[in-house]
Structure 1
Amino acid sequence: MLKKSLTILFSLSYIYFSFSQQVSGKVLTKANEPIPFATIQIGENYGVITNEEGNFSIVTEGFKPSDSVYISCLGFEKKGLLLNEFTSKEYKLSEQINELYEVYLTNKPLTIDSIMYYVNRNLKKNYKNSLVQYDIFSRRTEYIVGKDADFEIDKSSGFKKKQLEAFNKDFDDLEQSLINNKSKQYTDFVGVLSIKNNEEAKLEVEKAIRLLDERNNQSVEMLAEKGKDIILKHLNEDKVYTVKSGLFKMSDSVSLKENNSKMEDTFNSMKFIRKMVHTMVENHGFSSKTILDFITDTKKYEYEIKDVTFIGSEMVYVIEYAPRRGSADFQGTFYVSNETFAILKADYQFAKGRIGEKLNLKLLLGVKYIEQNKKGFVIYKKHADGYYYPNYMTDQLDRYFYVDRPIKFKDNNSSEKVAFEFKVEGIFKEKNEILIMAEKDITATEFNAIKEKRKIDYETLKAFDPDYWKEYNVLEPLKEMKEFKVEE
């Protein structure tokens, strides 16, 4: 009888694990605050991290009920449990309680100058940036905050008043869509990024989606396309025009009939996406001059040891930094291992008064462009080969733009002229995230054998689908993304 009961119990347990192949949950503090970027790990190199809201989802297929699951985050006590105890629910971590300052003082800690010296001396020993292949998940979030828009046809020879009113009505609709649109669009994909060196990389995309309301698409490409469509209503596409903006001739042979390949949506281009992803990985590495110059260019920054903490038994320095010189851009915090002097985690944001690339020809050409409010975050993870690899990175940037230009079209074969007043102001907001799910070494021969496609085939969804990535350990979406839905 006992044997029969055990057999039934084992069968029920097997059925449970056969169907419970994905666990979703939330990691919180004891005070019920979400813990972002906590690690949920099964085995040596398998796991996910929580998103900014503390949520996670992980596929558990292929593991035994007796396998261990660990939930950890810097500054918190690690929680361990068996896989058969790991279910979809909330998990709370306790803050690390130990004699940090006693350990810190009795061990006579290094000075900040010594720490930074050893960090930089060990960069090549701690990080590998070439001939490596990453399984990645990428998410891009973008939208426009429109501030002002004014498109109008001022003068037009050869057209009636009602025609001009109709065209200006189209422009008014475009203005309102820019100013009033609040929708965001999301681009996700899973793929393999193979890096030969800091200049060469190849990307293979396995699966890709967009959450996009095409009626409210506010990408740069789509705004330009909408403007072009309106102009085509007014101008004869069979004619050739001379185009001027203010006092400057832009072209003397524009044909609206020609298909301008540059107007294509760049997000379908594998080259564009590969460059974006590779640049982001390189910017959070240490192979060349990168965004992490607050680590490598110590003369430009001031540093202060603010605290020490632990991850497991490993002591970690908590260091704050800020610009010392005008050429330094960032301020923030990073975490340094006392054992290997590797950077385990780092965040950055533009220091007060700092901006990125800018173009200000407002008085001359009516064009202004400024990169603002840049911030980011990166987590590194040590693997069996002794190297630290990026595990998760995010980068956010606001791009302020202002364009105020008159544009004139003159038919080269007649006196017909059309003058447009074009004014638009706003902020393009974008956020890029990359989760590295696995990595391995490759050879130059293997890299050269990879064939990269020209375009990415996205599937466009009209509503968030919670099952779309169920076979992958991807980053759990935020609440606003889960609520995405295109209204019919």
Structure 2
Amino acid sequence: MLKKSLTILFLFGYIYFSFAQQVSGKVLTIANEPIQFATIQIGENYGVITNEEGNFSIATDGFKPTDSVYISCLGYEKSGHLLKDFVSKEYKLAEQVNELYEVYLTNKPLTLDSIMYYVNRNLKKNYKNNLVEYNIFSRRTEYIVGKDADFEIDKSTGFKKKQLEAFNKDFDELETSLLNNKSKQYTEFVGKLNIKDEESSKLEVDKAIRLLDERNNQSVEKLTEKAKEIVLKHLDKDKVYTVKSGLFKMSDSVSLNEDNSKMEDTMNSLKFIRKMVHNMVESHGFSSKTILNFITDTRKYEYEIKDITFIGSEMVYVISYAPRRSSADFEGTFYVSNQTFAILKADYKFAKGRVGEKLNLKLVLGVKYIEQNKKGSVIYKKHPDGYYYPNYMTDQLDRYFYVDRPIKFKDNNSSEKVAFDFKIEGVFKEKNEILIMSEREITESEYNATKEKRKIDYEELKAFDPEFWKDYNVLEPLKEMKEFKVEY
């Protein structure tokens, strides 16, 4: 009887273990430094990667206690575990001792020119950019750092003193909220991105979330909306105005009674999000839109083999690069397989003195815009079909802006007019991350059959919910996101 009871208990434990389990942990070096983007893998095509803090969370349901779990990262020894021993805790990886580097430096079987030649020669063989379906997790982090703001009425007719005071009071509050705001906005979704070619894609969103304190929303749309609300609040909606900004007349028949609030909400527009995600995938591939020109345009850059490392038994060249010509933008490191000459990982950032798109009409129109501090990484994973697909991409960018413009409203039926001084300066900070959880080749007919919605239905949360993505293997959030909460 006791033996039978123990057998039942064992079977119950086995069945319980095979159901949904969530293992969370942290991957560290022997010196207790977090290892970012390490892979935690069960089987051939199932796993997650660690975030920038070294943290991960993975669901283990559907696997047997005797299945193997491997933790690996470029430059570190792979760590193997049985699933039954794989629990929530810290895991440490030892740096891989490189005994072949000296031999390589002595024998030099391949020159840098040869390595880069074979990398580019094999791009079409190693990477596939069309008719692919990606099952993705996307995270977008945005916030603004206000540097200066000044909104004030300096001339007016037809306004009483109390009206002017109320107008400027509202503008003062907008200035204060811009300069003092420290809150961040987080947007996440899980869905399928179907790519036909460089220009065509479709996105199906399964589930989406937004963490946002509406009182501190400093998006472009919200700042525009707040400024407009102030204008509508204090000007006569029954009148028609001529609007002039600086030397240019913007319109000679603006009615404030018209509904101008139907500007498309780009944050909810599926078209906008799909374009952003598709462009990110394409720019981290090797199409004509690639941001990785430090690999494809070798004339612009100078290279150096910094090391040789391994991922499993595969030898990997560690190559640093920097601009050789003024038209080159980036510096960083990338990793090349000695077997296939595929790029396994690439890191990049703007080199010193480099910026992206810019517009400087500060003296003429009072407008300045500069893209700066761009940096990012991409990690590729080899699929059983022989192609390498992006596994994780991250891209960060600061957008400096400066606007100093006078704006005048003149009543078309009288001499009444109001002149505003509008000055604002700051930096929009944006970070995008895409984790590709799986991928598969699709046919053109499958692509054509895919249907898109117009809008993404986000669930708006007032505090971080660790259970929201419990059924998905997504990227573990950073500590600051876990601490998000709207205070009332």
- Using the size of structure 2 for normalisation, the TM-score is 0.98
Matched with 1:368 is: 368
Are 1:424 and 2:420 counterparts? Answer: no
Q: Could you tell me which residue of structure 1 aligns to residue 11 of structure 2?
A: 10
In structure 2, give the amino acid aligned to 1:153.
Answer: I
TM superposition shift of 1:259:
3.0
1:252 corresponding residue in structure 2: 252
Per-residue CA deviation, residues 164-203 of structure 1 (Å, 9 max, x unaligned), is 1011000000000000000001000001000000000011
Shift of 1:448: 1.0
SS of the residue corresponding to residue 267 of structure 2 reads helix
Q: Counterpart of 1:147 in structure 2: which amino acid?
A: K
- Structure 1 residues not aligned, in runs of 5+: none
1:224 Cα deviation from its structure 2 partner: 0.3
- Could you say which residue in structure 1 is the equivalent of 2:222? 222
The amino acid of 2:10's aligned partner reads: L
Shift of 1:18: 2.9
Partner amino acid for 1:301? Y
Name the SS of the counterpart of 1:263 in structure 2: coil
Superposed displacement of residue 102, structure 1 = 4.2
Q: Which whole-Å CA distance do the structure 2 matches of 1:86 and 1:409 have between them?
A: 68
C-alpha distance in structure 2 between counterparts of 1:208 and 1:258, whole Å: 33
Matches within 5 A, 1:390-469: 390-469=390-469
Contact 1:22/1:59 (<8 A) preserved:
yes
Cα distance between partner residues in 2 of 1:289 and 1:212: 32
Shift of 1:228: 0.2
Q: Give runs of aligned pairs for residues 53-452 of structure 1, distance below 5 A.
A: 53-105=53-105, 108-260=108-260, 263-452=263-452
Secondary structure of the 2:303 match is strand
Residue in structure 1 matched with residue 485 of structure 2 by the alignment = 485
User: In 2 relative to 1, CA 261–338 (structure 1 residues): closer, same or farther, beyond 3 Å?
Assistant: farther
Q: Distance in 2 between matches of 1:261 and 1:71?
A: 51
**Corresponding letter in the other structure for 1:267:** M
String of CA shifts for 1:30-74, please: whole Å, max 9, x gaps.
Answer: 111110000001111111000000000111111111111110000
Matched-pair contact (CA < 8 Å) for 2:17–2:65: no
SS at match of 1:413: coil
Greater Cα offset, 309-318 or 260-269: 260-269
- How far apart are 1:15 and its partner, in Å? 2.3
SS at match of 1:179: helix
Counterpart-to-counterpart distance in 2, 1:6 and 1:94: 40
Confirm or deny: 8 A CA contact 1:222 1:265 kept in the other structure.
no
- 1:281 to partner: Cα distance: 0.3
Maintained 8 Å contact 2:331/2:351: yes
Distance 1:226 1:466 in 2: 32
**CA distance in structure 2 between the aligned counterparts of 1:435 and 1:259, rounded to whole angstroms:** 40
Contact preservation (8 Å) 2:355, 2:372: yes
- Asked if 2 retains the 8 angstrom alpha-carbon contact of 1:221 and 1:264, the reply is no
Aligned-partner SS, 1:175: helix
Q: Please give the alpha-carbon distance, in whole angstroms, between the structure 2 residues aligned to 1:203 and 1:264.
A: 19
1:157: Cα distance to partner? 1.2
Gapped regions of structure 2 (runs ≥ 5): none
Write the distance in 2 (CA, Å) between the matches of 1:402 and 1:97. 51
Contact 1:132–1:440 (8 Å) recurs in 2: yes
User: How many angstroms apart in 2 are the aligned matches of 1:300 and 1:264?
Assistant: 41
Corresponding letter in the other structure for 1:52: E
> Could you tell me whether the CA contact under 8 Å between 1:225 and 1:263 is conserved in 2?
no
CA distance in 1, matches of 2:117, 2:262: 47
CA contact (8 A) 2:282 2:289 kept: no
Distance 2:262 2:337 in 1: 47
**SS of residue in 2 equivalent to 1:92:** strand
Look up the match of 1:473.
473
Give me the whole-angstrom Cα distance separating, in 1, the residues matched to 2:432 and 2:118. 31
The separation in 2 between residues aligned to 1:31 and 1:291, in whole angstroms, is 34
Counterpart of 1:328 in 2: which secondary structure? coil
CA–CA distance in structure 2, aligned partners of residues 58 and 297 of structure 1: 39
Q: Provide the C-alpha distance between the structure 2 equivalents of 1:70 and 1:96, rounded to a whole number of angstroms.
A: 15
Aligned residue identity for 1:218: Q
Could you give the per-residue CA deviations for residues 199-257 of structure 1, whole angstroms, max 9, x where no partner exists?
Answer: 00011111001000000000000000000000001112232211111221111122223
- 8 Å Cα contact 2:98/2:308 also seen in 1: no
In structure 2, C-alpha distance between the alignment counterparts of 1:344 and 1:140, rounded to whole Å? 24
Residue 103 of structure 1, CA deviation: 4.5
Between the aligned partners of 1:286 and 1:260, the Cα distance in structure 2 is 42
* Aligned residue identity for 1:356: G
| Structure 1 contact 294–301 (Cα < 8 Å) conserved | yes
Does the 8 Å CA contact 2:270/2:456 hold for their aligned counterparts?
yes
Corresponding letter in the other structure for 2:200:
E
Identity %: 82
Alpha carbon RMSD of aligned pairs, Å? 1.3
CA distance, structure 1, for counterparts of residue 105 and residue 261 of structure 2:
64
Q: Distance in 2 between matches of 1:27 and 1:389?
A: 24
Deviates more, 1:343-352 or 1:104-113: 104-113
Provide the secondary structure at the position in 2 that maps to 1:275: helix
Number of aligned pairs? Answer: 487
**Cα distance in 2 between the residues matched to 1:194 and 1:258:** 40
CA contact (8 A) 2:320 2:334 kept: yes
Q: Secondary structure at the match of 1:266?
A: coil
Tell me if the contact between 1:155 and 1:419 (Cα under 8 Å) persists in the aligned partners. yes
Post-superposition shift, 1:295?
0.4
8 Å CA contact 1:464–1:485 kept in 2: the answer is yes
